[in-house]
Amino acid sequence: MRDLTADGAHRPLRADARRNRERILVAAARLFAEQGLDAGMERIAAEAGVGSATLYRNFPSREALVEAVYRNELARLCDAAPALLEQGPPDEALRAWTRLFLDYVTAKYGMIDALRAIAATGADPYGGSRERVRAAIASLMDACTAAGTIRTDIGPADLAAALEGIALTSAGAEHRRQAERLLDLTLDGLTVRRG
């Protein structure tokens, strides 16, 4: 991450500034998921353990914070795929990643009105997100296919559509158990049946 100097040049953020920024993003994602846009900026700063001035120095407006949280959550989701594949069998990585997908969607829905308002101004907060999610799904499915654990007649676009459908009908903390059951049902349907 970089910060702007007085003359407009970029410089790397100090380690403490990076940590503060990350704590703000994590706290905001959690509060947006729980409270939607009712989560106040001062509450977010307090949850992050920083002062309001630090929050506003990093994110001068609610819209800037919302867009940064969304992009951060997207990056965390997509970056998790290779890490999960390194930690265990591909089918377990895929199952764990679908739970992270639910977390991502829950956070996104808490910010959906603000994201739509940002998009209405002509900005593109979603730029490339669908492609990044599908690439993560493809990497997980390719590993599962290579391991012989999932069917080969279902592609990443199919699984992405199923995940989006589950998220649309079951997103939110109050529906988490149902969403996880639907994910398990979907993943069980992908599994290669032996013998």
pLDDT digit string (tens) for the chain, length 195 residues: 444 444 444 556 688 889 999 999 999 998 988 888 888 999 999 999 999 999 999 999 988 999 999 999 999 999 999 999 999 999 999 999 999 998 888 888 878 888 888 888 888 888 889 999 999 999 999 999 999 999 999 999 999 999 999 988 876 667 888 999 999 999 999 998 765
DSSP-assigned states of every residue in 47-63: HHT--HHHHHHH-SSHH
User: Which candidate, 129, 21, 118, 104, places its Cα nearest to that of 63?
Assistant: 118
What pLDDT, on the 0 to 100 scale, is given for residue 172?
65
What pLDDT is recorded for position 12? 67
Right CATH number for 62-195 from 1.10.357.10, 3.40.50.2300, 3.40.720.10, 3.10.290.10? 1.10.357.10
pLDDT of residue 109: 81
Domain boundaries, the chain: 1-60, 62-195
Query: 1-60: what CATH class?
Result: mainly alpha
Per-residue confidence (pLDDT) for residue 171, from 0 to 100: 66
pLDDT at 6: 46
C-alpha distances in Å from residue 17, one per residue of 2, 82, 124: 10, 27, 26
Q: Please tell me whether residue 2 adopts helix, strand or coil conformation.
A: strand
- At a CB cut-off of 8 Å and minimum separation 6, what does 177 contact? none
